[in-house]
């Protein structure tokens, strides 16, 4: 169900990607072996980074950039601790010793501020991203741990991401282009990891890297939405561990 729901959202942003029914059929197939596996014979495969997702530069004078960063930092803290629905612009303004009208000078609306928070969260990925030379198999295997870290450290931002990714499917939403670019880059990142893992001997069987990447991203996103609705009933990390255990070769345990 998580894969189905997650892929429906992804397809709304990226209609050229495999549809939800194609991804779901792939995930449920007894054997996910690809008919053509020539791609895995190609080496080396260049590293595709994840940390640049959503990155944007801001021009202007240093004081203005610093004020903008303080506002974003305050919003990150409040959204992560009390949730974004329960947080008002007045509360964010009070956190930085300013007014709501000043915030609107830098961010035209609350949605614009939320989008800036999401971009800030993505910029933080540089702190966690593994080196390009790291084993792709081990990076994939650590997905469950990454999910557990996010649940523990930034539960409010998980809820922010999960809700806004659904709200922003409308093309006029200020975060629509952000999510379109983010999903495209995320899918490319995991497809690249799967190609590299196959070259390392890290996959149990040959598989279609594009469909596997779509399945994994859809599963992760769908689980986050289910977790947001009932955190005690959904263990995102455990579900990812189980999914990847059926994909990754347990004998490939070391970096290559």
Cα–Cα distance for residue pair 28/55, rounded to 1 Å: 35
* Residue 153 CB coordination number (10 Å): 10
Distance, in Å, from the CA atom of 37 to the CA atom of 243, rounded to the nearest integer, reads 21
pLDDT of the residue at 46: 65
Apex CA 149: angle with CA 146 and CA 151, to 5°? 110
- Structural domains of the chain ordered from first start: 2-49+136-245 (no CATH), 62-122 (1.10.10.60)
Please enumerate in sequence order all residues whose Cβ is within 8 A of that of 36, keeping only pairs 6 or more positions apart, or say none. none
Q: Using N-to-C axis directions, what is the helix angle for 110-123 and 155-167, rounded to 10°?
A: 120
Check whether 102 has a pLDDT greater than 70: yes
Query: Would you state the pLDDT for residue 38?
Result: 40
Confidence of residue 130 (pLDDT cuts 50, 70, 90): confident
What was the pLDDT predicted at 60? 54
Percent of residues, the chain, with pLDDT higher than 70: 83
pLDDT tier at 54 (50, 70, 90 boundaries)?
very low
Phi, then psi, of 127 in degrees rounded to 5: -75, -20
pLDDT for position 121:
78
Please give the average per-residue pLDDT across 109-124, as a whole number: 84
pTM of the model: 0.80
The tens digit of pLDDT for each residue in 197-222 reads 999 999 988 788 899 999 999 999 99
pLDDT digits (tens, 9 = 90+) for 87-99: 899 999 999 999 9
Kindly tell me if the per-residue pLDDT of 78 is higher than 60: yes
pLDDT band with cut points at 50, 70 and 90 for residue 35: very low
Q: pLDDT category, 49, cuts 50, 70, 90?
A: low
The model's confidence at residue 21, banded by pLDDT at 50, 70 and 90, is confident
pLDDT > 80? residue 26 = yes
Looking at the predicted structure, is the pLDDT value of residue 58 above 70? no
Q: pLDDT band at 59, cuts 50/70/90?
A: low
User: pLDDT, tens digit, for every residue of 233-251?
Assistant: 999 999 999 999 999 998 8
Radius of gyration of the chain (CA): 19
Identify the band that residue 256 occupies on the pLDDT scale cut at 50, 70 and 90.
Answer: very low
């Amino acid at each position: 169900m998580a894969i189905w729901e997650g892929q429906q959202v992804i397809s709304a942003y990226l209609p050229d990607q495999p549809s939800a029914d194609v991804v779901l059929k792939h995930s449920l197939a007894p054997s996910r072996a690809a008919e053509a596996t020539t791609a895995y014979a190609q080496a080396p495969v260049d590293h595709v980074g994840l940390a640049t997702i959503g990155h944007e530069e801001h021009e202007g004078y240093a004081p203005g950039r610093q004020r903008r960063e303080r506002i974003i930092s305050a919003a990150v803290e409040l959204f992560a601790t009390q949730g974004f629905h329960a947080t008002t612009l007045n509360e964010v303004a009070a956190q930085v010793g300013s007014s709501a009208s000043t915030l609107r000078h830098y961010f035209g609306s609350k949605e614009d501020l939320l989008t800036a928070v999401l971009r800030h969260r993505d910029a933080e990925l540089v702190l966690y991203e593994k080196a390009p030379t790291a084993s792709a198999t081990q990076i994939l295997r650590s997905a469950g741990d990454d999910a557990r870290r996010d649940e523990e450290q930034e539960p409010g931002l998980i809820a922010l991401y999960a809700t806004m990714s659904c709200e922003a499917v409308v093309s006029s939403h200020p975060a629509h282009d952000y999510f379109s670019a983010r999903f495209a880059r995320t899918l490319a990142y995991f497809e690249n990891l799967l190609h590299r893992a196959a070259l390392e001997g890290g996959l149990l069987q040959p598989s279609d890297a594009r469909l596997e990447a779509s399945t994994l991203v859809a599963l992760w996103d769908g689980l986050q939405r289910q977790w947001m609705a009932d955190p005690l009933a959904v263990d995102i990390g455990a579900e990812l561990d189980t999914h990847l255990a059926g994909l990754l070769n347990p004998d490939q345990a070391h970096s290559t």
